[in-house]
Amino acid sequence: ELKVEQNPLFLSMQEGKNYTIYCNYSTTSDRLYWYRQDPGKSLESLFVLLSNGAVKQEGRLMASLDTKARLSTLHITAAVHDLSATYFCAVQFYFGTGTSLTVIP
């Protein structure tokens, strides 16, 4: 079974700071997804990364994919409170454990 691991599981960061969430997976895959989930809400798609070296950016979030290392990163730049949520990466239909992000004013 494909394993998807994220770290950290919990992240508390101050507004204006930068940080990176890591997603490792156990088998080769041609695409990787990032989702956001607000408390009590469903999942919202953020990024689809389709190939090795793919990089996508939306606002303060940037995602990248290294298929050789089986690693994806989600980089947060100059965090703001609105980014507080749980972030999941997913490979095929297997989801990571999620990273709960809290941005502190």
Partner 1 sequence: EAGVAQSPRYKIIEKRQSVAFWCNPISGHATLYWYQQILGQGPKLLIQFQNNGVVDDSQLPKDRFSAERLKGVDSTLKIQPAKLEDSAVYLCASSLVLWTSGGISTDTQYFGPGTRLTVL
Residue ranges binding partner 1 (CB under 8 A)? 4, 30-31, 33, 35, 41-45, 48, 88, 90, 93-98
How far is the C-alpha of 39 from the C-alpha of 84, rounded, in Å? Answer: 10
Where would I find the beta strands (DSSP E) of the chain?
A: 4-7, 10-14, 19-25, 32-37, 43-49, 55-58, 61-66, 71-76, 85-91, 94-95, 99-104
Beta carbon of residue 16, minimum distance to partner 1 (angstroms, whole number): 28
Nearer to partner 1, 32 or 79 (CB): 32
Give me the residues paired with residue 18 across strands: none
Beta carbon of residue 11, minimum distance to partner 1 (angstroms, whole number): 15
How far is the C-alpha of 36 from the C-alpha of 50, rounded, in Å? Answer: 18
Nearer to partner 1, 13 or 43 (CB): 43
Nearer to partner 1, 1 or 105 (CB): 1
Nearer to partner 1, 36 or 79 (CB): 36
Beta carbon of residue 12, minimum distance to partner 1 (angstroms, whole number): 17
Q: How many CA atoms lie within 13 A of 34 on its CB side?
A: 27
Beta carbon of residue 18, minimum distance to partner 1 (angstroms, whole number): 25
